[in-house]
Amino acid sequence: MDLPSLLKTAPCIKVKMFADDIKTYGIYDLSNYDEVRQALELSIKRMLDWSKMWDLPINLDKCSVMRTEGRKELITATHHKLRNIPSEKTIENLSGNLLRPSSMTSLLRTLFNPYEKEATKGQEDAIFELFKIPGKNEASIGRLLTVLKSFGLRVDDPRLKPMMRRLKQIEKQEEAKMNEAVEPEHWKLGREHFKECVAHSVDLIAQALRNNLVIPSWHTFIDEIRIIYQECAEISDGNVASYIPQLARQSPHYWGVSICTVDGQRASFGDAKTPFCVQSVSKAFNYAIAASDLGAAYVHTYVGEVTSGRLFNEICFDSRNKNSGAIIVTSLIKNTIDMVDRFDYVITQYRKIAGGEYIGFNNATFLSERATADRNYAISYYMKEKKCFPPETTSLTDALDFYFQLCSVEGNCESLSVMAATLANGGICPITEEKCINPNACRDVLTLMYSCGMYDASGQFSFAVGLPTKSGVSGVMIVVVPNVMGIALFSPPLDALGNSCRGVAFCKKLIAKFNFHNYDSLLHATSHKVDPKRRDKERNLLLRPSMWLDLKIWLRLGGLLRSTSEICRLLFTSRERRKSQKKFYV
């Protein structure tokens, strides 16, 4: 029975809302008072909306017709006792209380209207009230940090650094007074200090607390990624690249994965912090830098944009006598300044794109690669004969040294996942919100990655996976899910076509589980893949203030007995568990 029918047929309804051991009761007599009926209908609808938004079960049970025979009765939820209603005015007051927003909801409305006057101030107060400790004028900043972590945000996120810096200053002062150190999870601040801290990062915090990040059910998504990671860890196929001596010394057991979304949600698995040379992955970012600085039209007067279908190191040109390789692209970058400044410029750009994450240089690999570069020298001399280089390139040795240096740049999965996420975010670094790449150049580099980013397996890979990807012979791969996330994978053993065996397997399993393929979103598709970006219709709107009040109650109920991480676990259970629990009884 649906809710409107229920309200018409049952003058008394008992609403029991539960999630695990947390229950909320409301018992109302609806037989005589239309205003109470309307107010309750709105109240129950809000609870239904709340449950759908968080995929929590609501149990509407024990609904029966209680014939009051004209008696003015209201059964309250507190002690389940009958209480006489002396007048219509009391009913009006009751309905008004049900409909009137509390001071908490009034403050939280500013979370959804950031352009209203003094909205920022309201957001800070609202966040304080949400994490306020019952009976005290203090709020738990540690619990706030725990909630942010549960949404995939890190406390070392550059956008949270001002808040963390101010927080440490305040805590240092407090610890000096108490002469003892306090762990972050126990940090408690008064209203003014709390607001002073969150003011520096209030927009990001409000976005997270509204659950308005690109992957709403972060823990569920990461659990699935962890399963894929563990399955791929069992793969033992492939061989480590041997034609560059330094690469041949890499351990075949390295296996790391890192993810960064366009909202800065991050997760890493395995050897995600192990440094490695980016090798050919640098070509994607070199093109992006050159196209941002010079324009794609100018760059493509020197290089082609169509995959050749030939071996990646073959000495040949396309039908317009243009080389499709990356040596020419690197020769276009800042070619009017000396080598030292050119290298510093590109490294600075890499670090901006990576949001300040680790970017280094492996000189041993550079020397090793330069010593075994006969074919690259042969290709370059052939291009010089055909006058393919720009006129500013006067030294072929310098041009090749610069190319080898950029291939020997070091990173790790965490830094490259942010770089990939910058491409997914239209050239804006998600964790610094700094524009690093021209949007048109970003579009062009993703197009090239899609068509020819996987060496001679590019056609097969784009058909099977359908995502822009770039691989390197060190075993690294970056995968871009446009407008969603960037993924970095590292595993040295390569297949016959020069791509990481575990990396390719990971991508195929990822696409089998989630609807990330470019064409999974076609109308009338019958795919049963999971959409991790999916929200119910109510989630397309910002959380309503009344639902924020419910969330506050949940946090209050947690108190000392239930940590915020456990509350968040209740809010974001796995899809399979939610499906089995999601029942409505009438």
Q: For the segment 150-187, what is each residue's pLDDT rounded down to a tens digit?
A: 999 999 999 999 999 988 888 777 766 665 555 555 57
- Would you state the pLDDT for residue 159? 95
- Would you state the pLDDT for residue 387? 87
Count of domains observed in the chain: 3
Token pair, residue 22, equals: 């947390």
Domain that holds residue 52: 3-100
- The reply to whether 182 and 329 lie within a common domain is no
Q: Return d(Cα 187, Cα 171) in angstroms, integer.
A: 8
- The reply to whether 274 and 410 lie within a common domain is yes
Q: For the segment 114-133, what is each residue's pLDDT rounded down to a tens digit?
A: 434 344 457 888 888 888 88
Last residue of a domain, one of 513, 528, 551: 513
Vertex 168: Cα angle to 568 and 360 (nearest 5)? 85
Ranked by mean pLDDT, the top range of 82-86, 483-487, 522-526 is: 483-487
- The reply to whether 210 and 243 lie within a common domain is no
- Would you state the pLDDT for residue 362? 95
Phi-psi group of 362: left, alpha or beta (phi > 0 → left; psi -120 to 50 → alpha; rest → beta): beta
Last residue of a domain, one of 100, 134, 159: 100
- Indicate if the pLDDT at residue 438 is higher than 90: yes
- The reply to whether 112 and 96 lie within a common domain is no
- The reply to whether 114 and 87 lie within a common domain is no
Q: Return d(Cα 433, Cα 204) in angstroms, integer.
A: 11
- The reply to whether 383 and 481 lie within a common domain is yes
Domain presence at residue 36: yes
Q: For the segment 348-396, what is each residue's pLDDT rounded down to a tens digit?
A: 999 999 999 999 999 999 999 899 888 889 889 988 888 889 999 989 9
- The reply to whether 362 and 445 lie within a common domain is yes
- The reply to whether 114 and 94 lie within a common domain is no
Would you place residue 469 in the very low, low, confident or very high pLDDT band (cuts 50, 70, 90)? Answer: very high
CA nearest neighbour of 286 among 161, 18, 470, 97: 470
Domain presence at residue 388: yes
Query: CB neighbours of 348 closer than 8 A, spacing ≥ 6?
Result: none
For the chain, give the longest Cα–Cα distance: 103
Q: For the segment 34-51, what is each residue's pLDDT rounded down to a tens digit?
A: 555 555 555 555 555 555
User: How are beta strands 12-19 and 58-59 bridged, if at all?
Assistant: antiparallel
- Would you state the pLDDT for residue 11? 43
- The reply to whether 96 and 113 lie within a common domain is no
Rounded alpha-carbon distances, angstroms, from residue 106 to 39, 100, 113, 123: 19, 10, 11, 10
Would you place residue 325 in the very low, low, confident or very high pLDDT band (cuts 50, 70, 90)? Answer: confident
Last residue of a domain, one of 100, 132, 165: 100
- The reply to whether 137 and 47 lie within a common domain is no
Q: For the segment 402-415, what is each residue's pLDDT rounded down to a tens digit?
A: 999 999 999 999 99
- Would you state the pLDDT for residue 12? 44
Domain presence at residue 424: yes
DSSP state of 489: E
Domain presence at residue 394: yes
- The reply to whether 210 and 244 lie within a common domain is no
